[in-house]
Amino acid sequence: MQAISEQEREAQFQAKIDRGEIIEAKDWMPERYRKQLIRMMSQHAHSEVVGMLPEGNWITRAPSLRRKAVLLAKVQDEGGHGLYIYCGTETLGISREQMLDDLLSGKAKYSSIFNYPTLTWADIGAIGWLVDGAAIINQTALAKCSYGPYARAMVRICKEENFHHKQGYEILATLMRGTAEQKAMAQDAMNRWWWPSLMMFGPSDANSPNSDELMRWKVKRYSNDELRTRFVDRTVPQAENIGLKVPDADLKYNEQTRSYEFGEINWEEFFNVIKGNGICNKERLMARKKAHAEGAWVREAAEAYAKKKATKNAAA
Binding site residues, another protein, CB under 8 A = 49, 52-53, 55-56, 59-69, 72-73, 75-76, 79-80, 82-83, 86, 121, 171, 174-175, 177-179, 181-182, 287, 290-291, 294-302, 304-305, 308
CA distances from 288 to 88, 104, 139, 296, 304 (A): 21, 7, 25, 12, 24
81 sits near Fe ion (criterion: CB under 5 A): yes
Single-letter code of the amino acid located at 182:
Q
Identify any residues that bridge with 253 across adjacent strands, giving them in sequence order.
260
Question: Shortest gap between Cβ of 91 and another protein (angstroms)?
Answer: 18
**Helical residues (DSSP H) of the chain, grouped into ranges:** 6-18, 31-50, 52-56, 65-90, 96-104, 121-126, 132-142, 148-176, 180-199, 211-216, 224-241, 267-272, 281-294, 296-315
| Distance from C-alpha of 6 to C-alpha of 14, rounded to nearest angstrom | 12
3-state secondary structure of 260: strand
Is residue 83 a contact partner of residue 156, using CB atoms and an 8 Å limit?
A: no
Q: Which is nearer to another protein, 25 or 287 (CB)?
A: 287
| The entry of another protein, Fe ion, none that residue 81 binds, CB within 5 to 8 Å by partner kind | Fe ion
Q: Which is nearer to another protein, 59 or 265 (CB)?
A: 59
Q: For Fe ion, how many residues bind (rule: CB under 5 A)?
A: 6
Q: Which is nearer to another protein, 179 or 313 (CB)?
A: 179
Query: Quick one: which of 55, 90, 132, 248 contacts Fe ion (CB under 5 A)?
Result: 132
Question: Shortest gap between Cβ of 165 and Fe ion (angstroms)?
Answer: 8
What residues line the site for Fe ion (CB under 5 A)? 48, 78, 81, 132, 161, 164
